[in-house]
């Protein structure tokens, strides 16, 4: 189970790095945060899991989405 989550995390992170659409990358990153929160919960660290879910999936996604809305959705490089 833990190995499966770790493998999925790596795949999702690579996808977020490679995606040209920044909004897709942001949503994938928030999924990564949710999955790592699940991983931390499975590893008996519920405190860190709450922080990861609230910061990673909540606040940072809001900040990223508003930055994308204020600038450009396509990756320029």
Which residues lie across from 21 on neighbouring strands? 74
Q: Which of 5, 21, 63, 73 binds other proteins (CB under 8 A)?
A: 63
x-or-dash string of contact with other proteins, 4-43, rule CB under 8 A: ----------------------------------------
Question: Which strand (E) or helix (H) includes residue 16?
Answer: helix 2-18
Q: What is the closest distance, in whole angstroms, from the C-beta atom of residue 28 to other proteins in the complex? A: 20
Choose one: 6-14, 20-28, 31-39, 52-60; the region binding other proteins (CB under 8 A).
52-60
3 state SS of 72:
coil
44-60 burial, b at 16+ Cβ within 10 Å, e below that, comes to: eeeeebeebbeebbeee
Q: What is the closest distance, in whole angstroms, from the C-beta atom of residue 12 to other proteins in the complex? A: 19
């Amino acid at each position: 189970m833990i190995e499966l989550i770790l493998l999925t995390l790596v795949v999702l992170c690579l996808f977020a790095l490679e995606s040209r659409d920044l909004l897709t990358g942001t949503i994938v990153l928030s999924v990564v945060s949710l999955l790592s929160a699940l991983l931390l919960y499975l590893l008996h660290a519920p405190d860190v899991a709450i922080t990861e879910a609230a910061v990673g999936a909540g606040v940072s996604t809001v900040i990223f989405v508003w930055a994308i809305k204020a600038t450009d959705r396509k990756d320029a490089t």
